[in-house]
Amino acid sequence: MFDFRSDTVTRPTKAMKEAMMNAEVGDDVYEDDPTIKALELYVAQITGFEASLFVLSGTMGNQLAVMSHTQKGEAVLMHANVHVNQYEVGAIGLLSSAYPKLVYNETGYLSASDIIKYKGVDNIHFPKVSMVIVENALGDGRCLNSDIMNQTIQQAHDFGYKVHMDGARLFNAHIANQESLSSLIGNADSLMFCLSKGLGAPVGSMLCGSKAFIAQARRYRKMLGGGIRQGGILAAAGIYALTHHVDRLKEDHERAAQITKMLQDFKYEVKVNHRDINMVFFKLRHNQSESDWIKRALDFDLIFGPSTHGWLRLVTHLDINDEAVMRLHQFLQSQK
């Protein structure tokens, strides 16, 4: 079966499994798992931060950042579309007692001008903004360039806000934009990126920041039940992913572009974005039933997920090869 639902469905390669099996392990709560420590050191080096922390998921990493950057009752400024707002179970209010101050605009992301517009007044009736969350790549598959990101970060810093970057697919943006990680990260105060999406690791994300920030996040991670023991088995997969699977992300982007063209040839409405990564958004024809369409795809060994706001999504990843694209073509041909 070829699963197009998300890049979170990837399975470890044989070489990654071997790296996991051979990993040297310890107890990470005592900070003596050598493989986790090696991963955290490597990530800090390639991102330019003082330190990093291995966490179990991107959601955990994002919430640890909010917990560590804010005090109770403060506001977090972010675009309404970001993952922290839409897909993290409202955790920002429960875990941090923070107020999500949401920006709605046509661009779909937070800009420097938005930060100025939504700064608000210093008044005891309103929560005080202390933190900004930005995202790259965006949830719709677009990548923001370093100029946009750095202008936003600088404006936030001018107002004294901390900036956290949700970079779940930052490495996709790095490859698509052909810009260095350091350029895209800029002067953000913290960063989260996923090992378990396009990079192909089975579990985990990385949270990056200053040594003091990571020390606080480590304490909160323990509080949330995220203290892991012999986690080097998982960290080994992360090291392998970062050293073997970054450049190959270009293949995912190329297959997504190929699928975009294919869908257009078969007269489907496709949302075309500049600097697309590995996600394709499209709509069925008016005479097509979504549930039937998805069910019929199973006959071609294709797994699709349901639509969101009328748009279906196909995601390319480590386990989507040329045969999968060929099967998709055959399926679309059968639906003419």
pLDDT tens, 202-220?
A: 999 999 999 999 999 999 9
Residue 286's pLDDT is 85
The CB density around residue 37, as the number of other CB atoms within 10 Å, is: 16
3-state secondary structure of 307: coil
The domain locations on the chain are 8-244, 248-334
What is the rounded distance in angstroms from the CA atom of residue 191 to the CA atom of residue 209? 7
Residue 263's pLDDT is 96
pLDDT digit string (tens) for 24-40? 999 999 999 999 999 99
Cα-only R_g, the chain: 21
Residue 287's pLDDT is 83
The count of C-alpha atoms lying within 13 angstroms of the C-alpha of 154, restricted to the half-sphere facing its C-beta, is 9
- Residue pair 6/305 in contact (Cβ under 8 Å)? The answer is yes
Residue 120's pLDDT is 81
Residues of the chain with pLDDT under 70: 274-275
Residue 272's pLDDT is 81
Q: What is the CATH number of domain 248-334?
A: 3.90.1150.10
Residue 142 vs residues 187, 279, 294: alpha-carbon distances, Å: 21, 9, 25
pTM above 0.75, yes or no: yes
Residue 309's pLDDT is 87
Select the CATH number that applies to the domain covering 8-244 from these four: 3.40.50.2300, 3.40.640.10, 3.50.50.60, 3.40.50.970: 3.40.640.10
H/E element holding 179?
none
Q: Helices 232-244 and 14-21 sit at what angle, rounded to 10 degrees? A: 140
Residue 274's pLDDT is 57
Alpha helix stretches (DSSP H) within the chain: 14-21, 34-47, 58-69, 83-86, 91-96, 112-117, 146-158, 170-177, 181-185, 211-223, 232-244, 249-265, 290-297, 322-334
What is the rounded distance in angstroms from the CA atom of residue 17 to the CA atom of residue 39? 16
Strand partners, 55: 205
